[in-house]
């Protein structure tokens, strides 16, 4: 086992943790959704990378090629991408509604408003 053989996993984990960090640490709802998107793309990488075979080609059957990458993760991730954009759209619609009701998209200000305190910007 060397470093190169597991580099794709390490990269995946780094992206995943960057997304997780954004989701936990940032209070802005739109930024949290972008962070969730990064977390999601890292999962695409987690699925696709093990399916690759060096020297292989895309899984389109042709007489010229013998080795193909694994088609099943591709199918799963195609579904995941489409479902991901659907959830993103729904999340953004919720953000717009929250903006209408609270006039802010910062989590801290929403919590302050809920507890009956004046908002930080005085609005």
Tell which positions 60-99 bind another protein, by CB under 8 A. Answer: 60-62, 68-75, 77-79, 81-90, 92-97, 99
Q: Is 118 a binder of another protein (CB under 8 A)?
A: no
How far separated are the first and last CA of the chain, in Å rounded?
58
Our finding on whether 122 is near another protein (CB under 8 A) is: no
Say whether residue 113 binds another protein (CB under 8 A): no
Is position 119 an interface residue for another protein (rule: CB under 8 A)? no
Q: In 3-state terms, what secondary structure has residue 54? A: coil
Say how many residues touch another protein, by CB under 8 A. Answer: 83
- Could you give the CA distance from residue 105 to residue 123 in angstroms, rounded to a whole number? 13
Q: What is the sign, positive or negative, of the torsion defined by CA atoms of 13, 57, 74, 40?
A: positive
């Amino acid at each position: 086992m060397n470093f190169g053989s597991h580099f794709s996993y390490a990269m995946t984990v780094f992206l995943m943790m960057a997304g997780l960090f954004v989701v936990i640490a940032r209070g802005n709802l739109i930024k949290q959704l972008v962070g969730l998107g990064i977390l999601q793309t890292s999962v695409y990488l987690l699925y696709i990378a093990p399916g690759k075979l060096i020297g292989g080609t895309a899984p389109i059957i042709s007489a010229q090629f013998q080795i193909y990458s694994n088609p099943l993760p591709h199918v799963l991730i195609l579904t995941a991408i489409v479902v991901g954009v659907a959830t993103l759209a729904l999340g953004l619609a919720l953000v717009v509604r929250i903006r209408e009701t609270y006039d802010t998209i910062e989590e801290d200000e929403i919590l302050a408003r809920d507890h009956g305190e004046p908002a930080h910007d005085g609005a």
